[in-house]
A and B are shown apart, each in its own frame.
Chain A
Amino acid sequence: KAGVTQTPRYLIKTRGQQVTLSCSPISGHRSVSWYQQTPGQGLQFLFEYFSETQRNKGNFPGRFSGRQFSNSRSEMNVSTLELGDSALYLCASSINPTDWAYEQYFGPGTRLTVT
């Protein structure tokens, strides 16, 4: 079974631009979560999508948005990029997101550099 895939793996953008990252979950997984990882802040939760609906959201500004398609693939968009947005963006998929079991499988990440 294929794992979680993310594209692109590396991206360099300029301040003020926008970027779209893509995530394809493991087949059969309906939940996709997005995280930002930086050396200083660690792994921070952005949002989670389940069945095309944003179900949970972390504390990030509105410049960060996402969506999920009917095949569970998800995209994350960051508008008006800032230098501080440089980070590793990870997505994770889950088969059974309940309050008790939330085992997630992470993709390899997209390394975004904002110059």
Chain B
Amino acid sequence: QKEVEQNSGPLSVPEGAIASLNCTYSDRGSQSFFWYRQYSGKSPELIMFIYSNGDKEDGRFTAQLNKASQYVSLLIRDSQPSDSATYLCAVGNQFYFGTGTSLTVIP
């Protein structure tokens, strides 16, 4: 059973700040890593995926992967109230998900 761990939060940041979300995983053989955002009452939607060590940037979002330490993180720059949601980390081709981190961006 692959395990994916996330800090459930809640995480609160002021508008305009950087939000940092972290995820650790147990299976060293995992090759693909995904971040999903889920608004309350909605289904998850893919934000980013990353396969290689290092950083991957997409607009205000940056995914960071460190396979040696078995963690993947998501940075949200210039956080907006519309970023308030639960962020889910998923690993591998069977999509084992963490329980999610609830983020609130305070105006």
Please tell me if the beta carbons of A48 and B94 are within 8 angstroms of each other in the complex.
yes
Given contacts A42-B97, A48-B94, A109-B43, contact A103 B1 (CB under 8 A): no
Name A76-115 residues within 8 Å CB distance of B.
Answer: 90, 92, 97-109
The one of A35, A59, A99 in contact with B32, judged by C-beta atoms closer than 8 angstroms, is A99
Residues of A within 8 Å of B96, CB to CB, are 45
Residues of A within 8 Å of B42, CB to CB, are 108
* Consensus secondary structure, chain B interface: loop
Given contacts A99-B31, A100-B32, A101-B32, contact A56 B97 (CB under 8 A): no
Please tell me if the beta carbons of A45 and B95 are within 8 angstroms of each other in the complex.
yes
* 8 further interface pairs, Cβ-Cβ under 8 Å (given A59-B1, A98-B93): A35-B95, A43-B100, A92-B95, A100-B31, A101-B32, A103-B46, A106-B44, A108-B43
Residues of A at the B interface (CB closer than 8 Å) are 33, 35, 41-45, 48, 56, 58-59, 90, 92, 97-109
